[in-house]
């Protein structure tokens, strides 16, 4: 079982694949509840102990959404000792599945926000 996660916008997406076939999905308006709900939604969709890999959409997109998604995906991959790959683009899930089938493993995935951070100066 492969879990694919996309959290770059207010709409969060989870997809479960078995032998390359989509077997379950969950798409919901997460908005400000993503940090609270993402792990629970993942574990309700799939048995985390049966995962063989994780695909994460790494960006570009929302700073907070990508940060939360990558953290959950990296934690699942690390704790279960399974491969993880980060992808982008329109065919992100298919690309990730192909990379996992080839035996690739990014070990951990960093978000790609698509722009340099805008850090403001202290006002004091």
Residue 111 belongs to some domain of the structure: no
How many whole angstroms from its chain centre is CA 115? 19
Angle, helix 34-45 to helix 63-80, in steps of 10 degrees? 40
CATH number of residue 47's parent domain: 3.30.420.40
The range of the structural domain enclosing residue 49 comes to: 2-101
pLDDT band at residue 116, thresholds of 50, 70 and 90?
Answer: confident
Number of domains, the chain: 1
Residues 21-80 pLDDT 10s: 999 999 999 989 999 999 999 999 999 999 999 999 999 998 999 999 999 999 999 999
Q: Is the pTM of this model over 0.85?
A: yes
User: For the chain, what percentages of helix, strand and coil (3-state, to nearest 5) are there?
Assistant: 35, 25, 40
105 has pLDDT over 80: yes
Bridge partners for 119 per DSSP: none
């Amino acid at each position: 079982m492969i879990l694919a996660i996309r959290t770059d916008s207010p709409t969060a997406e989870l997809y479960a694949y078995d032998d390359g076939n989509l077997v379950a999905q969950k798409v919901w308006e997460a908005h400000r509840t993503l940090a609270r709900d993402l792990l629970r939604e993942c574990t309700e969709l799939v048995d985390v102990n049966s995962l063989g890999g994780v695909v994460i959409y790494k960006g570009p997109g929302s700073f907070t959404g990508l940060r939360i998604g990558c953290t959950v995906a990296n934690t699942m991959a690390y704790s279960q000792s399974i491969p993880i790959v980060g992808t982008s683009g329109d065919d992100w899930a298919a690309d990730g599945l192909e990379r996992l089938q080839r035996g690739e493993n990014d070990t951990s995935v960093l978000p790609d926000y698509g722009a340099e951070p805008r850090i403001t100066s202290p006002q004091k």
